[in-house]
């Protein structure tokens, strides 16, 4: 290689390598520090777009999971805070009607039974009017399939299609659990005949309420299954996004060591190449 004073090609080549190695070292440090192989579109545009879509889907499913859990809380409030209590009251009113229907008691006792009977029915109406979840009435007919207001819908998927939501009005179809809705508001057990008629009406109310509780239980099971399904979807999408986007730390640390050595080596070569023009002085001696 000829000796030149004005153009030190070896130094320029070494400096170019030093710049490249320094950039690579910086990128590797950022990757190791962040734990992500792809951070912006310049790293890998296609992988970034795919991973963003996967992460968006996972976040949508996580929100759907929270929506379902809220729906379960609402339904638990329907069952535990309302229907189960009303069922117990109906059982008690049936006991009272059964006692009042027997011929071994007199009118005085039946009037006493009527007082408790009326009190129990008032409690049914109170429970119905106060049972709600975040301002949403639950037992006044708002969750019936023929409700005139907006349906209560649980959204759980990636879009607004019907397959990604559950309409609680359709699945629960809860008619009003007031004494009027149950058909027991005008019962009178102060007479034996009235008590016997009350037994029939109360049994019908119990059967209707049992059907409603069965639908509630079926919906609870459905939502629990949906939670399990969403959990699997979230896990799969997160794993796929991680495979595309996350850095292999072991591999990156190995690369970091390599880049450090290259930077140190190229730096040393820049220093050595800068000494080459000094050979011209030897020719002049």
Question: What pLDDT sits at residue 214?
Answer: 93
- Residues 223-237 have a mean pLDDT of 91
In angstroms, rounded to a whole number, what is the distance separating the alpha carbons of residues 45 and 94? 71
CA 279 to chain centre: 74
93's CB contacts (< 8 A; 6+ apart) are 117, 120, 121, 184, 198, 202
Collapse the DSSP code of 137 into the 3-class scheme (helix H, G, I; strand E, B; otherwise coil) and give the result: strand
Give 94-119 pLDDT, tens digit per residue: 999 999 998 888 888 999 999 999 99
**Residue that wins the pLDDT comparison between 174 and 257:** 174
In angstroms, rounded to a whole number, what is the distance separating the alpha carbons of residues 168 and 143? 7
Q: Terminus-to-terminus CA distance in the chain, angstroms? A: 20
In angstroms, rounded to a whole number, what is the distance separating the alpha carbons of residues 38 and 214? 51
Query: 1 is written with which tokens?
Result: 């290689």
4-8, 70-74, 139-143: least confident range: 4-8
Count the alpha carbons within 13 Å of 146 in the hemisphere toward its beta carbon.
Answer: 2
Q: What Å distances lie between residue 213 and 31, 40, 93, CA to CA?
A: 55, 53, 19
In angstroms, rounded to a whole number, what is the distance separating the alpha carbons of residues 221 and 68? 12
Give 172-217 pLDDT, tens digit per residue: 999 999 999 999 999 999 999 999 999 999 999 999 999 999 999 9
Torsion sign over Cα 178, 182, 187, 192:
negative
DSSP result, 187-224: ---SSHHHHHHHHHHHHHHHHHHHHHHHHHHHHHHHHH
In angstroms, rounded to a whole number, what is the distance separating the alpha carbons of residues 203 and 188? 15
Q: 10 Å Cβ neighbour count for 281?
A: 8
């Amino acid at each position: 290689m000829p000796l030149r004073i004005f153009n030190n090609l070896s130094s320029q080549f070494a400096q170019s390598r030093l710049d490249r190695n320094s950039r690579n070292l910086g990128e590797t440090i950022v990757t190791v520090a962040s734990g992500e192989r792809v951070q912006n579109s310049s790293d890998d545009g296609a992988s970034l777009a795919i991973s963003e879509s996967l992460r968006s889907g996972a976040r949508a499913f996580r929100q759907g999971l929270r929506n379902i859990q809220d729906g379960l809380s609402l339904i638990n409030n329907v069952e535990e805070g309302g229907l189960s209590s009303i069922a117990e009251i109906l059982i008690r009113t049936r006991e009272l009607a059964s006692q009042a229907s027997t011929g071994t008691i007199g009118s005085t006792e039946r009037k006493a039974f009527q007082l408790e009977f009326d009190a129990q029915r008032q409690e049914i109406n109170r429970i119905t009017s106060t049972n709600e979840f975040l301002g949403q009435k639950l037992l006044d007919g708002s969750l019936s399939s023929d409700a005139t207001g907006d349906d209560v819908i649980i959204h759980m998927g990636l879009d607004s299609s019907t397959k990604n939501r559950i309409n609680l009005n359709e699945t629960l179809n809860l008619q009003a659990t007031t004494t009027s809705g149950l058909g027991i508001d005008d019962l009178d057990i102060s007479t034996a005949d009235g008590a016997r008629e009350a037994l029939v009406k109360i049994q019908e109310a119990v059967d209707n309420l049992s059907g409603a509780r069965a639908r509630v239980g079926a919906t609870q099971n459905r939502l629990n299954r949906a939670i399990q399904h969403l959990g699997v979807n979230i896990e799969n999408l997160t794993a796929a996004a991680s495979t595309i986007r996350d850095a292999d730390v072991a591999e990156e640390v190995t690369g970091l060591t390599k880049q450090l050595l290259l930077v140190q080596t190229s730096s040393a070569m820049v220093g050595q190449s800068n000494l080459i023009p000094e050979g011209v002085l030897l020719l002049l001696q």
